[in-house]
Amino acid sequence: MPWAISDWQDAGKEPVLRALIEDIGSGDITTNACIPADLRGEARFVAKQEMTLAGGELLTILFSDVTLLKFSGDRIGPGDVLATVRADARTLLTRERVSLNFLQRLSGIATLAAKFVEAVDGTGVKILDTRKTTPGLRLLEKMAAAAGGATNHRIGLFDAILIKNNHIQLAGGVRNAIERAKSLGQPIEVEVRSRLEIEDALDCGAARLLLDNMTPEQAALEVEFIAHRAQTEISGGVTLANVRAYAEAKPDFISSGAITHSATAVDINCGITSV
């Protein structure tokens, strides 16, 4: 498992609390009207499809009596029980949808990430996630991507230098942007779109070149030209359908925003019975 239960708990506390407040508001009027306050229940979270699980550890934030049977990063089949939870029936019902929203969304990301990783198997290329995440859920979504086997790129704007096209435009060129960024004393990654920009970036000592919006054929030519003088990353327009073709260009990394912004939620059922 790429992240420990405590990591999920730390990252999930604030988002889970916000989600509960959003959903419950002043109270679950249907549950409170229909269900006796002293009724106890058990919830079983069951997979309805093949998936890679992510976020089940968040159930330990929502409930106090949780038995986790599967963990983030596990490959799951239809019918597999992911976790069981015991609590008063009102709590189970009131927190059911929030639980499923996190599990289904995060497992959808992990499942898609695993498909990207599988698609480039044997090439030596690492799949990276991006900052194209749901606002307020970035760390959880990146943890889900890691559960699927992807490598986390920078978490935000604060933890790595990545000079992109608009930086280059406003700084007056690749050389100006890199020379100014050198004052931070950190490795520099720079987005490049032409052979001239590649040459400038290499001359200035960039550690990684991001080959942006190139065809697989163009990318292969540029990776060959760079010849390991810097790490190479391919990005822009990368999908599950074409990622293998990009991997065969032999970069070090391929990043795809689709892993987080286009993941489809998986199908997980929560059945609740009285005990």
* Pairing status of strand 126-128 against strand 253-255: parallel
> Catalytic: which of 97, 115, 126, 250?
97
Indicate the residue type of 145.
A
How many Cα atoms occupy the beta-carbon half-sphere of 120 within 13 Å? 29
> Catalytic: which of 75, 86, 154, 164?
164
| Dihedral angle over CA of 166, 253, 138, 106, nearest 10 | 140
Specify the DSSP element, H or E, that contains 201: helix 195-203
Which three-class secondary structure state does DSSP give residue 245? Answer: helix
> Catalytic: which of 44, 86, 132, 250?
132
> Catalytic: which of 96, 141, 191, 197?
191
Which three-class secondary structure state does DSSP give residue 36? Answer: coil
> Catalytic: which of 129, 212, 222, 233?
212
Q: Check if the beta carbon of residue 128 is closer than 8 Å to that of residue 92.
A: no
Tokens for 209, please give them.
């070149």
Active site residue 182: no
Active site residue 164: yes
Which three-class secondary structure state does DSSP give residue 253? Answer: strand
Active site residue 97: yes
| Residues with catalytic roles | 97, 132, 164, 191, 212
